[in-house]
Amino acid sequence: MRAGIWSKPVTFETLTLGVYRTISSASEAAGVLLYDWPAEEGPAFRAAQEKCLAVLEEGSDPEEARRAFLLAADEADVFIRAG
């Protein structure tokens, strides 16, 4: 099940140059942040983890988790494909 579905998916570049992955929920984002994050971890990364897990555990706002994921990507210079 994809908990915390986002209003708009996010497509980002993985560790493999030119390979992209699209995620559309806090559940998918949590998995990426926990196991497949393609960059250094910083404060925005940790905040995004917390926000995504809060959606799963407490039913927090999935759009806050989406915004936090985008901030983590920006912090780490992870390429986000516009779309």
Please report the beta strands in 14-79, taking only residues with DSSP state E, as ranges in sequence order: 20-25
| CB-based burial, 14-38: b 16+ in 10 Å, e otherwise | eeeeeeeeebbbbbbbbebbeeebb
The parent domain of residue 46 ranges over 5-81
pLDDT of the residue at 2: 64
The count of structural domains within the chain is: 1
Question: What's the pLDDT score for residue 1?
Answer: 43
pTM exceeding the 0.75 threshold for the entire prediction: yes
Triad 25, 43, 13: Cα angle to 5° = 50
In eight-state DSSP terms, residue 21 is E
Phi, psi of 37 (to 5 degrees): -70, 125
Average the pLDDT over 67-73 and give the result. Answer: 96
